Chain A
Amino acid sequence: MKTCLVVDDSSVIRKVARRILEGLEFEIVEAEDGEQALDACRRHLPDAILLDWNMPKMDGYEFLRLLRKLPGGDGPKVVFCTTENDVAHIARALHAGANEYIMKPFDKEIVEAKFQEVGLI
């Protein structure tokens, strides 16, 4: 079973994401911000990361930059999942090493399409 780390400060979003991703046969680990996510990745690198942008402590963009510097940190497929929906944000995310990008609000179809796009399913 593939693992997906869901990083979002909203417990509601984490719950929605968990339900969708479990339906796609992923095992889920949750984190509330970039720092927690980075800790989780140091312990175990997941196959996929669903990543919010704006979070307290460490935001998604900063987390992604640090993740990609970890040993093996270029492995996980990172899919941003954020309300930031302008070209500038998307371009920054891609530049920092994101593989795909979801603009909230999202649903199962979108998550499935994006995860397929990067070869996770």
Chain B
Amino acid sequence: MTPQDFDYLRKMLRERSGQVLSAEKQYLAESRLLPVARKHGLAGLAELVDKLKATTAAAPLTVAVIEAMTTNESFFFRDKMPFDHFRAVIMPALLAARAREKRIRIWCTACATGQEPYSLAMSLKAIGPALAGWRVEILATDLSNEVLDKAKAGIYSQFEVQRGLPIQSLVKFFTKVDEAWQIAEEIRAMVKFRPLNLLNDFSPLGTFDLVFCRNVLIYFGQDTKIGVLNRLARQMPSDGFLILGAAETVVGLTNAFKPMTDQRGIYVPNVAAAKPAPASNVLKFAAKA
């Protein structure tokens, strides 16, 4: 790939998905995009970039390129601690705080193949009778339609169900389908999957008591991270909770959230610092996407 073509791709990715591809990641772009080129009947990467320049943002080729460049790895109960917090800290707090409306809304903002929202759904099942009469909604979104299709089907390989999922949960919530495992309909029914690009305006989704935004900000540039975090803060009540990935933080990025006292990895809206987020480039790009 010529340096010019690679620059074009990097700029497009940054504008369309927020992903910042560093200069030394050319090999990654090449290995992920060659199959896309072939699938679309193009001879190579030069032809792919030429075609991209001539197509619209919504064209199947553009979408395929953006999706191919995402990293979709996920596991059940990834990093364990967020899910321990969910059971021991967050749900008890929300059950107390929402006792009158008996309604809780949870959002997984980059759910990939669904392990994260399904882990939450299984954890909710474990709470049992305390949730009788409650409406708990889990919305799971991702930029990539390909991963959402897999998430909706809820079918995982033997390898995938063995990383992070306790064996008791496998027996309880999955059935074997040939050599793979499908999560039970009662769990699938608890999660709504929708396509969504975090660069776009998500205010129509309403407010959420708990937001899981894990292992997606790491791919973004600084401005994009700040923009997303500030806009997330506007979708959350002052007693809501934000969970980030193990390598992610709000510290040094925004005052809209602050780390929760004594609970590593949980962030809460910073009411004292609440102020409108600055209009950033992110929103301008988003309008085009």
Contact = CB atoms under 8 A, between A and B. Distances in A.
Interface in B186-225: none
Interface stretch (B43-51, B127-135, B156-164, B260-268): B156-164
B170 interface: yes
Given A90-B167, A90-B171, A113 B176 contact: no
Contact of A103 (B75, B158, B164, B166): B158
Contacts of B164: 113
B168 interface: yes
Given A86-B176, A113-B163, A94 B158 contact: no
A100 B166 CA distance: 7
B176 A87 contact: yes
Contacts of A100: 166-167
Contacts of A86: 176
A90 B175 CA distance: 12
A106 B159 CA distance: 8
Contacts of B159: 107, 110
Contacts of A107: 159
A65 to B, nearest CB: 18
A102 interface: yes
Interface in A85-121: 85-87, 90-91, 94, 100-103, 106-107, 109-110, 113-114, 116-117
Interface residues of B, number: 15
Contacts of A87: 171, 175-176
Interface string B229-270: 000000000000000000000000000000000000000000
Nearest to A100: B167
Nearest to B170: A90
A103 B165 CA distance: 13
Contacts of A91: 171
Contact of B162 (A94, A103, A116): A103
Contacts of B167: 90, 94, 100-101, 114, 117
B168 A94 contact: yes
A107 B175 CA distance: 23
Contacts of A110: 159, 162-163
Given A90-B171, A94-B168, A94-B171, A85 B163 contact: no
Given A113-B163, A113-B164, A85 B158 contact: yes
Interface in A56-94: 85-87, 90-91, 94
Contacts of A103: 158, 162
23 contacts: A85-B158, A85-B179, A86-B176, A87-B171, A90-B170, A90-B171, A91-B171, A94-B167, A94-B168, A100-B166, A101-B167, A102-B162, A103-B158, A106-B162, A107-B159, A109-B163, A110-B159, A110-B162, A110-B163, A113-B162, A113-B163, A116-B80, A117-B166
Given A85-B176, A113-B163, 12 more contacts: A85-B158, A85-B179, A87-B175, A87-B176, A90-B170, A94-B167, A94-B168, A94-B171, A103-B158, A103-B162, A110-B163, A117-B167
Interface of A: 85-87, 90-91, 94, 100-103, 106-107, 109-110, 113-114, 116-117
Instruction: Pick the 3 closest A-B CB pairs, nearest first.
Output: A101-B167, A110-B162, A113-B163
